Copies of this chain bind each other. A is one copy, B any other.
Amino acid sequence: MEIELNDSKHTRNSWMERFETYLPEVVYGSIDGIVTTFAVVAGAAGAELQINIILILGMANLFADGLSMSIGSYLSNKSERDNYQKHLHIEEWEIENMPDDERKEIEMIYRQKGFEGKELEMVVNRITSNKKVWLDTMMKDELGLSEQKKSPLKAGLSTLVAFITAGAIPLAAYILAYAGKYQIDPFILSSLVTVFAFILIGYIKTYVTQIGLLRSILETLLLGAAAAMAAYFLGDYLEKLLV
């Protein structure tokens, strides 16, 4: 059951379209990944933990959280799709088995759009003469549901890859420090690299949210800074309290 009313707008090639479909997963997955991992790093730095402990917890958190986010993304996309299908079948059944009631609902929808008398009768006749259009009108105007075109599996995988890739960025400085490659404080190096990554993600995010570039970058930086500072000061405070 496919009803295509808006497709005249989509004339670009399918690769670009497919990429854009999962861009929200990539952007929000990256933000979650980098914020979470940097918060672990900041909390551990605040608590003055050793580099190997920071690496253990950062990496365990990276994979566990990445897995949980991507399974969550898979499940919520799947349940949205299932929910649409369920209501589609209910409306289909109702059109088949209680067409008079469903006709009255179309009548009510168009009465609220300002149709009356013979005009209303004509519109209702026309809409209900085509089951696809009838069903689509019920789904959109009565239930406010649009068809979910995302594949739950691809949404989950996009989230996983984006989360782990972006989340590895704040940890990279600690891997280098553990390997003894640098003399710089790994927390300072990690913070610098993370800020650059935030700016890049803020830039990519403008394609999803369609807000201005500066606001997008500032929002993403604010998010990361707030989380990192909360983790740092709490780590610092708890270290004095508990260690």
Contacts and interface: CB of A to CB of B under 8 A. Distances in A.
Interface of A: 4-6, 8-9, 28, 31-32, 35-36, 39-40, 42-44, 46-47, 49, 52-53, 55-57, 59-61, 63-65, 67-69, 71-72, 75-76, 79-80, 82-83, 86, 108-109, 112-115, 119, 122-123, 126-127, 129-130, 133, 137, 140-144, 146, 178, 209-211, 219, 222-224, 226-228, 230-232, 234-235, 238-239, 242-243
Indicate the member of A4, A122, A143, A230 with the most B CB atoms within 10 Å.
Answer: A230
5 contacts: A5-B112, A68-B226, A68-B227, A86-B210, A113-B127
A235 B39 contact: no
A14 to B, nearest CB: 19
A5 B79 CA distance: 26
Contacts of A108: 8
A8 B126 CA distance: 24
Nearest to A233: B60
Contacts of A232: 60
A106 B52 CA distance: 63
A228 B63 CA distance: 10
A170 to B, nearest CB: 12
A71 B31 CA distance: 12
A56 B43 contact: yes
Contact of A210 (B83, B114, B235): B83
B114 A223 contact: no
A57 B242 CA distance: 11
Contacts of A234: 56, 59-60, 63-64
Contacts of A137: 113
B126 A114 contact: yes
Contacts of A57: 40, 43-44, 47, 57, 235
A63 to B, nearest CB: 5
The 8 closest A-B pairs by CB, nearest first: A43-B60, A39-B64, A64-B231, A68-B227, A79-B209, A52-B242, A56-B238, A64-B227
A43 B63 CA distance: 10
Contacts of A243: 52-53, 56
